[in-house]
């Protein structure tokens, strides 16, 4: 189990775009991942209000979803997004970090179904949510 | 408004390019990703020049799925904003420099991305098509490709909340 978490953590930390957006792990394991992204003026989508662009929130939710797949107990070796549907509920409050909580709620042999929610400091009112389907590469069976 | 004498081409190009620049320059995230727009008349093509920081899978390597989603969403939003200001701009009712600060961009309600193949470590292009644009809501489809226009690497559909029209006075 700890090995799976270590692999998933390495997987995410090796992603240049996740690093570029300043993403950091809050927790990880058992097909669930929590990743946060600090507020950064470079990621603003509406300069009049200072609100973060939806695209940056999408990138955060996509990363959290991929991480949730990678730490699923079946121990996938890699994953890629097949589709992602994002619903935007409200503007994230400027100056606040955004946190994405992703959960693999079903996996088949080759596909993982994930849902993810993004919140700012007001965790009771989500900023956005998404559901996605991800490819799942299983480790090759060891021959005994 | 005298149609008998067409405007000099430089004047037309200057006005349209200035308006497009004004639309883009206000958005830090567009600059951060390095997205540019190529304009041919009213047709826009979004361009995402490759950069190391856009990588999501270093083993392949491939573009980050979130980058692809953001690229498509930006292409859709700019197409909508551009399309909705075009008539006002061409009629001279909107100043492509002075009025650009007042432009409010459409807000994304939802956006769905289909990842058709992995994004290669090279430039990507996208074109958006407005399928329906009402006073309050709009539906847009976006296609993105790299080497071959007919081999899409991603497509997306989104719904957007439209801001009040630029010319609309207080409505």
Q: What span, in angstroms and rounded, lies between the C-alpha atoms of B83 and A19?
A: 35
Structure token digits, residue B148: 């071959």
Q: How far is B109 from chain A (nearest CA, A)?
A: 5
- Tell me what pLDDT residue A144 has: 52
Q: How far is B5 from chain A (nearest CA, A)?
A: 39
Q: How far is A14 from chain B (nearest CA, A)?
A: 7
Q: In chain A, which residue's Cα lies nearest the Cα of B117?
A: A82
Examine the pLDDT at A12 and tell me if it is beyond 70: no
Examine the pLDDT at B168 and tell me if it is beyond 70: no
Q: How far is A19 from chain B (nearest CA, A)?
A: 8
From chain B, pick out residues whose CB is under 8 angstroms from the CB of A18. 56, 64
User: What does the H/E/C string look like for A71-138?
Assistant: CCCCCCCECCEEEEEEEECCCCCCCCCEEEEEEEEEECCCEEEEEEEEECCCCCCCCEEEEEEEECEC
Within a domain: residue B41? yes
Test mutation, B65, B77, B137, chain A, max A CBs within 10 A: B65
Within a domain: residue B112? yes
Examine the pLDDT at A16 and tell me if it is beyond 80: yes
Per-residue pLDDT of B66-96, as tens digits, reads 999 999 999 999 999 999 999 888 888 888 8
Within a domain: residue A41? yes
From chain B, pick out residues whose CB is under 8 angstroms from the CB of A47. 26-28
Supply the DSSP symbol for B162.
Answer: P
From chain B, pick out residues whose CB is under 8 angstroms from the CB of A63. 56, 64, 66
- Tell me what pLDDT residue B59 has: 85
Within a domain: residue A12? yes
**What strands, in cross-sheet order, belong to the sheet with B124-133?**
A24-29, A32-37, A98-107, A111-119, A128-135, A81-88, B107-115, B152-161, B137-145, B124-133, B43-48, B36-40
Structure token digits, residue B166: 């630029």
- Chain B contact for A139, CB < 8 A? no
A/B interface, count of CB pairs below 8 Å? 128
Contacts of A80 (CB under 8 A, 6+ apart): A66, A134, A135, B57, B62, B65, B115, B118
Q: What span, in angstroms and rounded, lies between the C-alpha atoms of B121 and A19?
A: 17
- Tell me what pLDDT residue A4 has: 64
Host H or E run for residue B15: helix B9-25
Within a domain: residue A142? no
Q: State mean pLDDT over B50-71.
A: 93
How many C-beta atoms surround the C-beta of residue B19 within 10 A?
Answer: 25
- Tell me what pLDDT residue B82 has: 94
Within a domain: residue B94? yes
Q: State mean pLDDT over A65-73.
A: 93
Q: State mean pLDDT over B116-141.
A: 96
- Tell me what pLDDT residue B25 has: 87
Examine the pLDDT at A47 and tell me if it is beyond 70: yes
State the complex-level ipTM: 0.88
Within a domain: residue B36? yes
Contacts of B148 (CB under 8 A, 6+ apart): none
Q: Do B32 and A42 touch (CB under 8 A)?
A: yes
B43: CATH: 3.10.129.10
Q: Do B58 and A48 touch (CB under 8 A)?
A: no
Test mutation, A8, A14, A19, A58, chain B, max B CBs within 10 A: A58
Structure token digits, residue B119: 């994004």
Q: Do A83 and B57 touch (CB under 8 A)?
A: no
Per-residue pLDDT of A88-123, as tens digits, reads 999 999 999 999 999 999 999 999 999 999 999 999
Q: What span, in angstroms and rounded, lies between the C-alpha atoms of B46 and B24?
A: 11
Range of the domain at A66: 2-135
Q: Do B111 and A45 touch (CB under 8 A)?
A: no
Within a domain: residue A140? no
In chain B, beta strands by DSSP E: 36-40, 43-48, 55-57, 62-63, 107-115, 124-133, 137-145, 152-161
Angle at B45 between CA B44 and CA B49, to 5 degrees: 145
Structure token digits, residue A43: 């990621």
Give me the number of domains chain B comprises. 1
Range of the domain at B140: 9-161
- Chain B contact for A76, CB < 8 A? no
Within a domain: residue A141? no
A48: CATH: 3.10.129.10
Give me the number of domains chain A comprises. 1
- Chain A contact for B59, CB < 8 A? yes
Examine the pLDDT at B2 and tell me if it is beyond 80: no
Within a domain: residue A21? yes
How many C-beta atoms surround the C-beta of residue B148 within 10 A?
Answer: 8
Within a domain: residue A143? no
- Tell me what pLDDT residue B140 has: 98
Examine the pLDDT at A143 and tell me if it is beyond 60: no
Please say whether the beta carbons of B127 and B143 come within 8 A: yes
Per-residue pLDDT of B135-166, as tens digits, reads 899 999 999 999 999 999 999 999 999 988 76
Please say whether the beta carbons of A43 and A59 come within 8 A: no
User: Across chain A, what does the average pLDDT equal?
Assistant: 90
Structure token digits, residue B20: 């497009």
């Amino acid at each position: 189990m700890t090995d799976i978490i270590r692999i998933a953590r390495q997987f995410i930390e090796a992603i240049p775009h996740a690093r570029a957006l300043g993403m950091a792990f809050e927790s990880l394991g058992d097909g669930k991942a929590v990743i946060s992204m600090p507020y950064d003026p470079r990621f603003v989508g509406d300069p009049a209000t200072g609100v973060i662009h939806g695209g940056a929130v999408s990138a955060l939710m996509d990363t959290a979803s991929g991480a949730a797949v990678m730490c699923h107990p079946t121990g996938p070796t890699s994953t890629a997004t097949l589709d992602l549907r994002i619903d935007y509920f409200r503007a994230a409050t400027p100056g606040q970090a955004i946190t994405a909580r992703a959960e693999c709620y079903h996996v088949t042999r080759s596909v993982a179904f994930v849902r993810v929610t993004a919140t700012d400091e007001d965790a009771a009112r989500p900023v956005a949510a998404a559901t996605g389907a991800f490819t799942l590469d299983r480790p090759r069976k060891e021959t005994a | 408004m005298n149609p008998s004498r067409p405007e000099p081409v430089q004047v037309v190009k200057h006005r349209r390019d200035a308006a497009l620049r004004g639309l883009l320059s206000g958005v830090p995230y567009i600059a951060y990703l390095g997205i540019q727009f190529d304009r041919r008349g009213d047709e826009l093509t979004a361009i995402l020049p490759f950069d190391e920081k856009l990588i999501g899978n270093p083993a392949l390597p491939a573009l980050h799925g979130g980058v692809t989603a953001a690229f498509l969403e930006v292409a859709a939003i700019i197409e909508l904003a551009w399309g909705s200001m075009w008539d006002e701009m061409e009629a001279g009712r909107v100043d492509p420099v002075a009025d650009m600060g007042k432009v409010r961009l459409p807000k994304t309600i939802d956006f769905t991305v289909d990842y058709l193949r992995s994004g290669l470590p090279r430039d990507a292009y996208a074109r958006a098509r407005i399928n329906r644009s009402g006073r309050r809501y709009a539906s847009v489809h976006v296609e993105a490709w790299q080497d071959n226009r007919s081999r899409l690497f991603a497509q997306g559909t989104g719904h957007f909340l439209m801001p009040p029209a630029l010319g609309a006075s207080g409505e």
